[in-house]
Chain A
């Protein structure tokens, strides 16, 4: 297959700074050399490519849009474009980086004490400390405010009880950002791997995000010192501000998965001869390819504009919802359409199609389901909240 050179029909490139282009080229090359040759194997085995973590840390991709504490301090567009290139490799890899940077490092950086920042952030930026984010519970997905996990004040410590589910990196994590109710208020706590009563069993049997670790977190009278609460945030605003950062990255990441499927579909259709001609010469196939390019281009423009808004501080929550929802939806449809163009070959892991398609089913649902983002937009349009 011809080398992937990106998809840039509307010259997005000209709107990127030199360093954003350098990040793009760096991560693209790294994915070509280090990820694509091995990722199908990880996917088959259901394992995360652990040996890549030090490289990801060394390049500085973890918390790359944060300032200080060993972070690179790059633009949000640079972060987005790194997510795009990572997800061209695999959504599991992008998820790893999203969770570490946007869901774990960000709340410590934004809501933590100076001592917490010093303790965790430099190691997390290097990939030497892994984080996970515990919000979703077995019975509380789209409705996190109903969470049952509780913390109680017990003199010089807090005691946490409850369970979280669907937690990326849970089993790998050295530190878990756990959202739990303290006197009825949702608060963030830092629970460490070795805290007594804390376990993080891996969830097995996924047909999606197979090259990513997903876990339960179980808290059985976990006692943590008082200095492990995030002091500067109360209520759902805490976890939602993290999710908004991650959703921003996902809106770029999904474009990467779509580009991988589109690239493979173009290459395949040009080399697959049926009835004496490449199938790429057929109108029905061209119609599909044109639709893919159209959707990818629109998604790129959404992501770029959202990135500019995030960089100049004017980004809005419904706008993030629209981009996450649209871009993941288009990527999933492109993956399915690419599978169709590949014919039976599309189901083989010789091609990346089914892996991306299966991954995107999770991405469609996590970090706010497609429908929940519709409801966020619905509330914005009408003023009526349709969640409850």
Chain B
């Protein structure tokens, strides 16, 4: 079986995000990019299934420009066998559904039997793409999974469903599984993997190669448009109390209770 891992590059989690001049996008010029952390769990799970000889091959599927190639090479260095980069001018402005259409087409083209993806990307936090990919392919899906077992043509997936309750979901392959934190501990790349990744070709598929109607993806196919981004309001300045300590303590407790409402 071939496992497809959907992998997106996102700004490093400690980045300071700046809104660009248009007001509807992010100024990426100074941003350090990383593999979306939840996608790292998906990749690790795929690699573990390959190590256990349950999967024959792991292929990375990334929608993105050439600047995402370094993240793809990182995934190859950790042990993914192949990768395809999905890039076309027609993909620009895609909403979650457009991205899902591109990924679903790539998964079909590559003969993927299981798709693993992060439960969400930490940049836009939409959490929509894995579910949409499953719907487009007509495959079973389980989201926010932290443990997965495969047995022949079926899977068993564990997920938290709130209040400490554990769901156990079974189904048949092919399927889409979205990964939560705690599923595994992502491995470090190996230096020999870095050397092998350097030599690997990363094919680029456009809309035509994927058999996609350009009108169904990108801004043309988007059902949702981002209109405006805004920075969080500036934090109001702190207040410094003065006077004798006993009266300051009283005042502080009153403020914490009545104004901040944290007590």
**Which of A's residues lie within 8 Å of B, judged by CB?**
3, 5, 18-19, 22-23, 26, 29-30, 55, 58-61, 64, 72-74, 78
Contact = CB atoms under 8 A, between A and B. Distances in A.
Nearest to B77: A22
A64 B191 contact: yes
A64 B192 CA distance: 9
B188 A72 contact: no
18 contacts: A5-B32, A18-B198, A19-B194, A19-B195, A22-B73, A22-B197, A26-B188, A26-B189, A29-B188, A30-B188, A58-B188, A59-B190, A59-B191, A60-B191, A61-B191, A72-B194, A73-B192, A78-B191
Interface string B189-213: 1111011011000000000000000
B16 to A, nearest CB: 11
Interface residues of B, number: 15
A55 B188 contact: yes
Main secondary structure of the interface of B (DSSP, over half): helix
Q: Which of A19, A29, A58, A73 has the most CB of B within 10 A?
A: A19
The 7 A-B pairs of least Cβ separation, nearest first, read A60-B191, A72-B191, A72-B192, A22-B194, A19-B194, A60-B190, A19-B198
A188 to B, nearest CB: 27
Contacts of B14: 3
A364 B192 CA distance: 32
Contacts of A29: 188
B74 interface: yes
B254 interface: no
Contacts of A58: 188, 190
Given A18-B70, A22-B73, A22-B77, A59 B189 contact: yes
A289 B249 CA distance: 41
A22 B189 contact: yes
A105 B198 CA distance: 25
Main secondary structure of the interface of A (DSSP, over half): helix
A64 B193 CA distance: 12
A74 B198 contact: no
Contact of B73 (A18, A64, A72, A74): A18
A27 to B, nearest CB: 9
Nearest to A55: B188
Contacts of A26: 77, 188-189, 191, 194
A60 B192 contact: yes
B17 to A, nearest CB: 16
Contacts of A60: 190-192
Contacts of A18: 70, 73, 198
Contacts of A55: 188
Interface string B6-48: 0000000010000000000000000010000000000000000
A21 to B, nearest CB: 8
Q: Which of B74, B190, B192 has the most CB of A within 10 A?
A: B192
A73 B195 contact: yes
B10 to A, nearest CB: 16
B143 to A, nearest CB: 27
A100 B138 CA distance: 54
A30 B78 CA distance: 14
A61 B192 CA distance: 10
Interface string B88-128: 00000000000000000000000000000000000000000
B74 A22 contact: yes
A75 B248 CA distance: 63
Contacts of B191: 23, 26, 59-61, 64, 72, 74, 78
Q: Which of A18, A22, A30 has the most CB of B within 10 A?
A: A22
Contacts of B194: 19, 22-23, 26, 72, 74
A270 to B, nearest CB: 16
A19 B192 CA distance: 10
Contacts of B189: 22, 26, 59
B189 to A, nearest CB: 5
Contacts of A3: 14
B221 to A, nearest CB: 34
Contacts of A30: 188
Contacts of B192: 60, 72-73
A56 B190 CA distance: 10
A59 B198 contact: no
